Chains A and B, each alone.
Chain A
Amino acid sequence: EPEVTQTPSHQVTQMGQEVILRCVPISNHLYFYWYRQILGQKVEFLVSFYNNEISEKSEIFDDQFSVERPDGSNFTLKIRSTKLEDSAMYFCAPVREGEYTEAFFGQGTRLTVV
């Protein structure tokens, strides 16, 4: 059983539109990380979320990005005005409290900006 489910699995959006990517954990996840992977490139850290607050963010995570936990369980990554270069695979990675020896990623959302 997967630790986390990401929706949608694939989204195509027009440049300038807002997108919301969702991450649904099973339970007991304390930390949440978001990563992106531009096609053919390495995985890059975006933001970490702990106890309903951003604990760290990279320089990629500019004002166009935001993260929330709107209903106390799901985690969302919002891109306000998408650009062509936002096209990538987006992964969420939850970490349960006290567990540091495993790190499961969601299956990813493939975002295509046209």
Chain B
Amino acid sequence: AQKITQTQPGMFVQEKEAVTLDCTYDTSDPSYGLFWYKQPSSGEMIFLIYQGSYDQQNATEGRYSLNFQKARKSANLVISASQLGDSAMYFCAMRGNQFYFGTGTSLTVIP
């Protein structure tokens, strides 16, 4: 069975600081993809970053980077230089034959 775990229901970070959102996963598939999404209060699901299970390097997209530790089955999202607009729910997801989502982390950026 595939499973995604996000253990931080809520996080706070000071504006301009970096923050790490945790994600661990469980799968027996040798090939899989890991995704992070941002969901603002408006409700849409915004794709942020992708990491393939065979990728040798950690994925980066602007201020977002994914700290992928395959042996530990973790795929933490790092947001650098936090902005007020980063305040939202963040979901980690894994793709097998469908998407499996974690329960999300609510991030609040403090001015």
Residues of chain A at the chain B interface (Cβ within 8 Å): 33, 35, 41-45, 48, 56, 58, 89, 91, 93, 100-108, 110
Contact = CB atoms under 8 A, between A and B. Distances in A.
Contacts, number: 51
Interface string B67-111: 000000000000000000000000101010111111110000000
Contact of B98 (A56, A100, A102): A56
Nearest to A100: B33
Contacts of B44: 105-108
B interface secondary structure, majority: strand
Nearest to B4: A42
B43 A48 contact: no
Given A101-B50, A101-B52, A108 B33 contact: no
B25 interface: no
Contact of A103 (B43, B47, B52, B100): B47
Interface of B: 33, 35, 37, 43-47, 50, 52, 91, 93, 95, 97-104
A105 B98 CA distance: 13
Contacts of A41: 103
Contacts of A102: 47, 50
Contact of B45 (A44, A48, A101, A108): A108
Contacts of B104: 42
Given A101-B33, A101-B52, A89 B98 contact: no
